[in-house]
Amino acid sequence: MYWDEVYNRLFERPFNWLGKFLADVIDWKFWHDYVHDQVIGKGFNTIARILANPVDLGLIDGVVNGIGALTRWISGGVRRIQTGYVRTYAITLLFGVVVVIIVLMLPLINNGG
């Protein structure tokens, strides 16, 4: 009986534990890899392929092209304002100062005082 206990403690328990541990790890790795590759990876790739054209070409490229068109439109308007003459810039500055003063004075004018 004594040698059975020694054999059990020295060989059976450690190897049983090691075998169970390795089986659990290998099983977990298999399912973990399977879930990531087959379910998450393929699902993500399928959704990405489906949404690539409508989202990328329609939405993202549309926003980028819209920003470019808006920039061209604004620069076309600013181009007409920029004459290169100092007197035009001085008048524009004076007009801006008058507008700021009027905006700051509006609360006083509306309250009567």
What does the domain layout of the chain look like in residue ranges?
A: 2-82, 84-113
Sign of the alpha-carbon dihedral angle for 3, 6, 10, 14 = positive
Q: Any residues with CB less than 8 A from the CB of 92 and at least 6 apart, and which?
A: 81
Which residue type, as a one-letter code, is found at position 94? L
pTM of the model: 0.43
- Per-residue pLDDT, 101: 96
82: left (phi over 0), alpha (psi -120 to 50) or beta: beta
Residues 6+ apart with CB under 8 A from 88: 81
Q: Residue 113: its pLDDT value, please?
A: 57
Q: What integer pLDDT is reported at residue 94 of this predicted model?
A: 97
pLDDT, residue 17, reads 85
User: Which residues of the chain fall short of a pLDDT of 70?
Assistant: 1, 112-113
Do the beta carbons of residue 92 and residue 81 sit within 8 Å?
A: yes
